[in-house]
Amino acid sequence: MEKQPFNTLPDSQRIKVASEDVADQFSDKMKSISLKEVEREAQAEAQAMGEQYIDLKGFPISPEALILLSEEQASALKAVVFFRGANDLRIGAIDPHNPELQAAVKKLKKEHNATATIYAMSQTSFDFALRLYRMIPKVRKFVSGVEITEEDIKRYESEIQTFNDLSRKLEEVSVTDMLTLILAAAIKARSSDIHIEAEEKSIKIRFRIDGILHDVAAIDIKIWSQVVSRLKLVSKLKINVEDKPQDGLFTIFLANDKIDVRVSVLPTAYGESVVLRILMASSSNFAFEDLGLRGKAFETLRLEIQKPNGMIVTTGPTGSGKTTTLYAVLNKLNTPGNKIVTIEDPIEYKLAGVNQSQIDAARDYTFATGLRSILRQDPDIVMVGEIRDLETAEIAINGALTGHLVVTTLHTNDAAGTIPRLLSMQVKPFLLAPAINAMIGQRLIRKICEHCKQKAELDNQMMSRVITILSEIAQDSGFRIPDDQLKRLTFYRGGGCEECQGLGYKGRVGIFEVMTMNKEVENLILNGHVSEYDMRSIAIKHGMITMIQDGLLKAADGITTVTEVFRVAKDISASDAL
């Protein structure tokens, strides 16, 4: 039954409703005053006793700190651990001088090899902290990881063949098993990211597989708070902070591998949204030969990275595989005779034999400040995760000009945009030509699943478009297709099977374009009238295969589909550039 609008009520009822509202507001205000008074009294009492004081109301208490004392111990001792640092524990207690508490703290100090400080707190603070235990799944001991055995993976693989199977299974398991199940399913599906998103009526689970997001399941919104609490627990996040973004990390331990999972929690209209980035340690063995570079592009880049100094710049949007390319270059150059130092945000994978450093804006450790320090470490090769500003660009270029090989990334659409982008940052033109060795444009495209690969027929319009682009490949590139063979090309697609989860694709490979510095480009830079079209036309004249041409050549080889190439790569023909 709908509530009658206030302005339509009779006078007597309006007076009654208004009085009740005033009374409620007065009651809330008195409660607030009362709570503040309680805290003031507790603080005054602590000061009189010479004790430090803490008000835990709203304090971000981490679960790994809280569960150092069980809920039963906390209730008995009237105390909680509200902070846990590397070698520092902080405990709030109603009676800091309780002998049983002193004994428990002594035991905690010994177990965790840490110092401990006891703070006096009010009953209100204690009651607040005690309620947080209900948000934590029942565990005996906090472990900095989620252990998934090979048996678990095999069991889930046999039970979950499709995303429908995952959705059904999620309805049957506990919250703890739910997280394990989602992670195991994501690993089996080769997912790079898991998105768990709160919506109005349900919680949506999506996997990013080969760069594309897929809806895989939904869970009941009623258990969302428990799921988030479980995720926060294993990720060492504050379980009672729901209105601020948080970032965490945990590790999945397998028999022969280790998987780091980066966790990002973001408050949204219907609750917190969680994204888990899956980083497999075994994936860090990127081979330069397996990137997808072929022919002249492969040979050109192989020669450029062997030079003792200069800059290699890889370009493309987020998710185009730029960091993977840099890691593959570092693995290629990682020999006992080279010292390699990186500065990244964040460090995606740990590389053996490479000194990796992560920026920290909170400590004013930026790409620029970090790079300046790195160049004092006598490195042979330096990787800069991204050039974002003039200061970083100038330091990187000076490093390239003073005997270091610098590899880095830049956000532009393609290789031709590298010089114009650096000039727009106000980099001095006369520094660019001698500093830059090679500029790489790249994208990632999905590969056809080999288990369900079949021939595909292109319509006349699509075939004509393909022929036009491939006919413009330079003669000296080594990949020029004779005109009489272009119309007889065969293309393929994936039919969809259990192996690829019905998607028709499995895995990804790069498509590339590689530009190098030459006299024409140098003159263009020094004249000060540089455009992407001018850069591209010079590169094509010197035999560069564009990204879309590289992609269509891979489609003609049966590696990918024509549709996938046109989805990912920009259609710019040589005639447009020239």
Q: Exposed, middle or buried, 465 (CB in 10 Å: 0-12/13-18/19+)?
A: middle
Residue that the structure tokens 């320090």 belong to? 373
pLDDT score at 397: 95
- DSSP H helices, 10-66, are 11-48, 63-66
**Residue 537 identity:** S
CB-based contacts of 222, cutoff 8 Å, min separation 6: none
What is the H or E stretch that residue 213 is in? strand 212-220
CA 110/CA 520 separation, integer angstroms: 70
Q: Which residues, given as ranges, of the chain have pLDDT below 70?
A: 1-35, 86, 136-154, 156-157, 255, 282-284, 476, 571-578
pLDDT cut 70: percent of the chain above it? 87
For 160-178, letters b (16+ CB in 10 Å) and e give beebeebbebbeeeebbeb
pLDDT score at 62: 75
pLDDT score at 556: 94
Of 171, 169, 172, 216, the residue nearest 190 (C-alpha): 216
pLDDT score at 152: 67
Backbone angle region of 507, left / alpha / beta, with phi > 0 → left and psi within -120 to 50 → alpha: left
> Check: CATH 3.30.360.10 for 285-577?
no
Of 424, 385, 375, 391, the residue nearest 408 (C-alpha): 385
Domain 146-282 identical in fold to domain 285-577:
no
pLDDT score at 578: 44
Q: What is the CATH number of domain 1-136?
A: 3.30.300.160
CA 448/CA 379 separation, integer angstroms: 41
Q: Where are the domains positioned within the chain?
A: 1-136, 146-282, 285-577
CB-based contacts of 144, cutoff 8 Å, min separation 6: 234, 236, 250, 251
pLDDT score at 136: 64
CA 440/CA 302 separation, integer angstroms: 12
Helices (H) and strands (E) in the chain, counts: 22, 20
CB-based contacts of 284, cutoff 8 Å, min separation 6: 327, 349, 350, 351
**Residue 482 identity:** P
Compute CA distances 154 → 234, 276, 498, whole Å: 23, 22, 16
Both tokens of residue 196? 């768990």
pLDDT cut 90: percent of the chain above it? 45
Mapped onto helix, strand or coil, the DSSP state of residue 441 is: strand
pLDDT score at 19: 44
CB-based contacts of 514, cutoff 8 Å, min separation 6: 293, 296, 297, 300, 301, 415, 438, 439, 440, 441, 544
**Residue 31 identity:** K
Both tokens of residue 365? 């450790």
Residue that the structure tokens 């939904």 belong to? 218
Do residues 544 and 440 touch, judged by C-beta distance below 8 A?
no
What is the H or E stretch that residue 115 is in? strand 115-120
pLDDT digits (tens, 9 = 90+) for 312-369: 999 999 889 999 999 999 999 999 999 999 999 888 888 888 999 998 877 888 899 9
pLDDT digits (tens, 9 = 90+) for 30-76: 444 566 787 888 888 888 888 899 888 777 787 778 888 888 889 99
Both tokens of residue 212? 């594309």
> Check: CATH 3.40.47.10 for 146-282?
no
CA 329/CA 306 separation, integer angstroms: 10
CA 566/CA 208 separation, integer angstroms: 20
pLDDT score at 498: 83
CA 371/CA 394 separation, integer angstroms: 10
State how beta strands 146-147 and 246-253 pair. Answer: parallel
Do residues 440 and 321 touch, judged by C-beta distance below 8 A?
no
**Residue 302 identity:** R
Do residues 448 and 505 touch, judged by C-beta distance below 8 A?
yes
Supply φ then ψ for residue 470, to 5 degrees. Answer: -70, -30
Of 344, 366, 342, 364, the residue nearest 352 (C-alpha): 342
State how beta strands 436-448 and 505-516 pair. Answer: antiparallel
Mapped onto helix, strand or coil, the DSSP state of residue 560 is: coil
Indicate the pTM of the whole model.
0.72
